[in-house]
Amino acid sequence: MKRFGKYVVVVFVNLVLLIVMLKVIDIFFEEEVPDFQIQQRQISLNEYPSNADFVAGPSSSVFNATQNLENKEYRLRTDQYGFIIGPSDIGRLHDDIDIIFFGGSTTECFFVDEDKRFPYLVGEILSNETGKRVTVRNAGLMGKHSMKSNFDLMTRGLQTNPKTVVLMHNINDLVQLLYVNSYFDGPDTRRITTDVVENKNRRSFLYRWAFQVKEWVMPNLYREVTQIFNSENGEGLNEDEWAGWRNESEIEYDYVKGKFKNSLLTFISIAKSNNMQVVLMTQFNRFNVDDDFIVKNYYDNVVKSINHNSFFEFYHIFNDVIREVADNENVLLVDLAKEIPPTMEYLYDAVHVNTNGSVLSAHIIADLLNRNFYQ
């Protein structure tokens, strides 16, 4: 035991000496080899990690703002590309992909059992009806808006080359554009690009060698421990990600509509130029001024200059934009906003389907896809 203690002391002393040596070398070569920085703009892609498998349930604050949602843990699994998969996809992760659903949390369907999420269930229904294996992947993720799905299509979409791509966006685009008037700004969780400053050291070989030894022997433990501590204590989970971003000026409605329309057209253009069939879907919802539960849960700070009546109206206008674009671009439209009843039987809050809503959506989508693409 005493010998072990001596070893610890020796290692500690050597590390201290190494750090002192680094500082001496740094000072000695400071003027001869100055530092410089490179700023890199990086595209922020919102997607799950590959081959993930975890369970989670709604937090108490989320659950208290729902109706007819089962309070339990839900399982979510992904394939090697980070797409959400279902039970029958296990062991079939390398199949050619027929359909990819792109969207936000309303497509993700986290709080629906994995065998009842509508993107997965569409594949099961089509497989049974056509007699062929129809492989479907779900690229939905909480907070994602259509411009992020455009980049997702250009990366994972082109890489996996599906026959059909399905897009459903509305509320994330609406909030993003009402808050900051742009897809390229806002909090880190929503913006398209991030700036990363990388230090480039024109140091001597001796300094760089000693620094690498230090990094290998004693990395930045403080940073790692801080991250673990914060995640385990839930730090940041209840913070308002939009704090400081809400736009209090008068809303330019035509500008906002135009930005959303252009994003939809971008998705269609990318898909068509790569010989993919495109499907647009309107977003189911309970945005009705007569729905007391939804009005009660509407937070007045969505945008300072817009009340819930106007917000609900503009949400429906965004669905109209989707219908208009689908008609003008001659792509298939699945009008879920009209097909899914706007009640708690199918939606547990303003825009998220429960199991009943997800199953009904799957049958509606599968029926239209089958009649248009598989017959």
| pLDDT value, residue 296 | 86
pLDDT in tens, 204-235: 555 555 555 555 555 444 344 444 444 444 44
Say which CATH architecture domain 52-190+250-373 belongs to.
Answer: 3-Layer(aba) Sandwich (3.40)
Domain ranges of the chain: 2-33+201-232, 52-190+250-373
**Residue 247: what pLDDT?**
62
DSSP 80-95: TTS-EE-GGGTT-TTS
Please give the C-alpha separations between residue 63 and each of 58, 67, 93, 302, in angstroms, as whole numbers: 6, 8, 33, 20
| Per-residue model confidence (pLDDT) at position 313 | 93
pLDDT given for residue 237 in this prediction:
41
CA distance 263 to 150: 8
pLDDT at position 41, please? Answer: 77
pLDDT under 70 in the chain at which residues?
1-39, 91-95, 196-240, 246-249, 299-305
pLDDT at residue 37, rounded to an integer: 59
Among 336, 325, 322, 375, CA closest to 119: 336
pLDDT digits (tens, 9 = 90+) for 60-84: 989 999 999 999 999 999 999 999 9
Residue 223: the pLDDT is 42
